[in-house]
Amino acid sequence: MKRVLITGKGSYVGTYVANWLQRHSDEFEIEILDMLDEEWSHFDFHGFDSVYHVAGIAHADISHVSEETKQLYYKVNCDLAVQTAKIAKEAGVKQFIYMSSLLVYGDRGNGSYRNKELIGRETTPKPSNFYGDSKWQAEQKLSELACDAFQIAILRPPMIYGPGCKGNYNGLRKIAMKSPLFPKFENQRSVLFIGNLSEFVRLLILDGRGGVFWPQDPTFVRTSDFIREIANAHGKKPWITKSLNWLVPVGACFPGKIGSLVNKAFGSLAVDAALSKEFEGKYQLFTFEESIRQTEAQ
């Protein structure tokens, strides 16, 4: 049986993964550590096989923030992760799993609807904002701690969605529930249903190894696929057509917020599927359609 410590009490990902692992009570003993105050540093890490570190500040509106807020991202997403890993290593923990982000590669598809390049193994991380940079700096510092006795596993997931999720998915839901029509624009997005992520983490803990991993759903999706499936889950039938695709380049030319939103909505941000075949794809339990139905059934 594996003893697993999940750091970050109350986090969306941590809570879902903990519940998922607890379904396999014959394989795991789970404990969750609250890291909101300094008391966590007195916690005894001895006896745990794996630490799944999800404590951090999630990606949010980064357009208007103070320097103080930026530094908080580095303190939590980087410094706290490294401090936790050092304590875990000293206590004899064998594996440390860090939740990074695909945004270590920068905005890429979020910056222009024209970008179609897939992220590959040789793609160099190049963060375009302090959130991505805080994750990238953590990755580099954590990698320095890795050794045969202390495996560092770094996860670079795309947008995570599922029942009760926050963030960009809810923006797509609002559009799906209100818009009677939408462009069928051929962009590509890597996404990750929380159930597929949870199974990936389960298999990774059982495996015990380190490295960099790119878990994602079994197929790329278009923004219009989200709109269609979310709407369908509520009995709506929006008109999704290529005849409206001319709106994308026109909208992308607008200065300021409008152009930025159009480029973000219709840009491509996808990881080469060859990088995501760990465990022979056994973690990809849910199709996109099934994942949306579960998410919208909340």
Domain count, the chain: 1
Closest CA to 265 of 286, 276, 249, 243: 249
Q: How confident is the model at residue 61 (pLDDT cuts 50, 70, 90)?
A: low
Q: What is the mean pLDDT of the segment spanning 161-183?
A: 93
User: Is residue 208 assigned to a domain?
Assistant: yes
Tens-place pLDDT, residues 120-165: 999 999 998 899 999 999 999 999 999 999 999 999 999 999 999 9
Query: Is 237 inside a domain boundary?
Result: no
H or E stretch including 229?
Answer: helix 223-233
In a domain, 225, yes or no: no
In a domain, 122, yes or no: yes
Q: Is residue 21 part of a domain?
A: yes
pLDDT of residue 124: 94
Q: 206 in helix, strand or coil?
A: helix
Confidence grade of residue 110 (pLDDT, cut at 50, 70, 90): low
Whether the pLDDT of residue 60 is over 70: the answer is: no
| Domain of residue 102, CATH code | 3.40.50.720
Give the domain range for residue 214: 2-165+190-218+270-286
Query: In a 10 Å sphere around its CB, with 0-12 CB exposed, 13-18 middle and 19+ buried, how is residue 253 labelled?
Result: exposed
Share of the chain above pLDDT 90, in %: 77
